[in-house]
């Protein structure tokens, strides 16, 4: 059994957690998130100021799933209280990005600008060569950051491209002159 699910999850003040059938809804100061969980495999109970988990059937599948459910609910609570943020750094001569309305427009060395629509629920800010993606849903925030990075991954010779802040790119030496 997962260590996360053995202890009940405490609900902080200012956060409201409701369970309606198989759907869990978490409301907080930064917004509202809801997610559907399989109720026949794992029972999730909201009582007092805690959320508890209990396996209905003891199988390998439920033992793997109970920790995942606990992690999803903790991410939902963290998202509506503090939110999630991912920073990306653009490196390269002439590489830049700017937000225009609900789109992110980037110049990445191609013959055309790369335009991406910003999903609802996320906010994107650009300062010099740093793109900041923030939102309440962890999956959506990190997925959009990964899609931005995939447009121009950092290359190992000069380090040009889009990388996560704090990501270390292993550099290669390149050709040697005789």
List, for residues 93-143, the tens digit of each pLDDT value: 999 999 999 999 999 999 999 999 999 999 999 999 999 999 999 999 999
- State both tokens at 62: 């439920």
For the cut 70, the answer to whether the pLDDT of residue 178 exceeds it is: no
Is residue 5 packed enough to be buried (19+ CB in 10 Å), middle (13-18) or exposed (0-12)? buried
Q: Which residues contact 166 (CB under 8 A, 6 or more apart)?
A: none
Long-range contacts of 8-13 (CB under 8 A, 24+ apart): 8/50, 8/51, 8/52, 9/50, 9/51, 9/52, 9/70, 9/73, 9/74, 9/77, 10/49, 10/50, 11/46, 11/49, 11/50, 11/51, 11/77, 12/77, 12/81
For the cut 70, the answer to whether the pLDDT of residue 1 exceeds it is: no
Rounded distance, CA 7 to CA 5, Å? 5
pLDDT band at 63; cut points 50, 70, 90:
confident
Rounded distance, CA 89 to CA 15, Å? 33
Instruction: Report pLDDT for 159.
Output: 87
Task: Classify 59 as helix, strand or coil.
Answer: coil
pTM of the model: 0.90
| Residue ranges of domains in the chain, CATH in brackets | 3-81 (3.90.930.12), 84-164 (3.90.930.12)
């Amino acid at each position: 059994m997962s260590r996360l699910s053995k202890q009940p999850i405490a609900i902080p003040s200012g956060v409201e957690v409701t369970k309606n059938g198989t759907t869990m809804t978490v409301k907080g100061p930064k917004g509202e998130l809801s997610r559907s969980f399989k109720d026949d495999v794992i029972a999730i109970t909201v009582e007092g100021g805690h959320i508890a988990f209990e396996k209905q059937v003891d199988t390998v599948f439920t033992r793997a799933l109970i920790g995942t459910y606990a992690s999803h609910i903790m991410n939902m609570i963290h998202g509506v209280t503090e939110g999630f943020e991912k920073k990306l750094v653009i490196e390269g001569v002439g590489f830049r990005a700017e937000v225009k309305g609900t789109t992110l427009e980037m110049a990445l060395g191609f013959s055309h600008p790369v335009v991406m629509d910003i999903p609802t629920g996320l906010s994107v800010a650009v300062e010099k060569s740093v793109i900041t993606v923030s939102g309440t849903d962890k999956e959506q925030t990190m997925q959009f950051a990964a899609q931005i990075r995939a447009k121009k991954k950092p290359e190992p010779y000069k380090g040009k491209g889009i990388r996560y802040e704090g990501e270390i790119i292993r550099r290669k030496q390149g050709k040697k002159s005789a």
